[in-house]
């Protein structure tokens, strides 16, 4: 489990932006949507910066509760500054649930993969990138794959330092 947690922490450290604008939010959201369409997935996709929802779409095939999962996952990233897949595996390794260990409510938080911290390098976590509709590890991996392709060369060089 420690190896997986380290991989997830490395993803959070390396998949950071040098800057993030509303235009980039739109481009990132559209990239997530295009990938979901290419694999035939009906997802809820959400990008939030400083509590401002800057991209949100419910795709055909998404279930009615996907928007609620997005809200709960996003709340977890906002509070803990880690991906929800990291939180899921961290608490699993501890043998406790996030709810019993941290005192947060299942009604408002979720430790299911699919939300990733939107981090600006040298600034910190400013929001969350969230998807819901696949298996939780696949929700997480979709975001990681798109971010890996989306970051420009200067950000990838920054990630190596």
Confidence (pLDDT) at 53: 96
> Please, are residues 148 and 10 in contact by the beta-carbon 8 Å criterion?
no
Long-range contacts of 93-96 (CB under 8 A, 24+ apart): 93/1, 93/2, 93/5
Neighbours of 148 (CB within 10 A): 13
For the chain, how many structural domains are there in total? 1
For a pLDDT cut of 90, what percent of the chain falls above it?
91
Confidence (pLDDT) at 157: 55
Average pLDDT, the chain: 94
- What pLDDT band is residue 97 in, cutting at 50, 70 and 90? very high
Using alpha carbons, list the distances in angstroms from residue 33 to 83, 123, 131: 20, 27, 10
Confidence (pLDDT) at 64: 83
pLDDT at 68 over 80: yes
- Write down the pTM of the prediction: 0.94
What is the token pair recorded at 98? 């996030």
- Residue 87 DSSP SS3: helix
Q: What is the CATH number of the domain that holds 119?
A: 3.30.450.150
Structural domain for 153, as ranges: 2-160
């Amino acid at each position: 489990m420690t190896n997986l947690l380290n991989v997830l922490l490395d993803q959070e450290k390396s998949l950071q932006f040098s800057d993030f604008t509303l235009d980039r939010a739109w481009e990132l959201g559209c990239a997530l949507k295009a990938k979901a369409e290419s694999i035939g997935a009906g997802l809820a996709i959400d990008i939030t910066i400083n509590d401002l929802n800057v991209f949100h779409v419910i795709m055909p095939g998404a279930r009615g509760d996907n928007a609620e999962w997005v809200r709960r996952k996003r709340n977890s990233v906002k509070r803990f500054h880690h991906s929800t897949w990291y939180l899921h595996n961290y608490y699993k390794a501890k043998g406790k649930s996030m709810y019993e260990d941290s005192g947060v409510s299942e009604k408002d938080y979720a430790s299911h993969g699919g939300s990733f911290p939107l981090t600006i390098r040298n600034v910190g976590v400013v929001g969350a990138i969230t998807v819901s509709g696949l298996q939780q590890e696949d929700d997480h991996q979709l975001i990681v794959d798109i971010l890996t392709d989306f970051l420009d060369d200067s950000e990838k060089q920054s990630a190596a330092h």
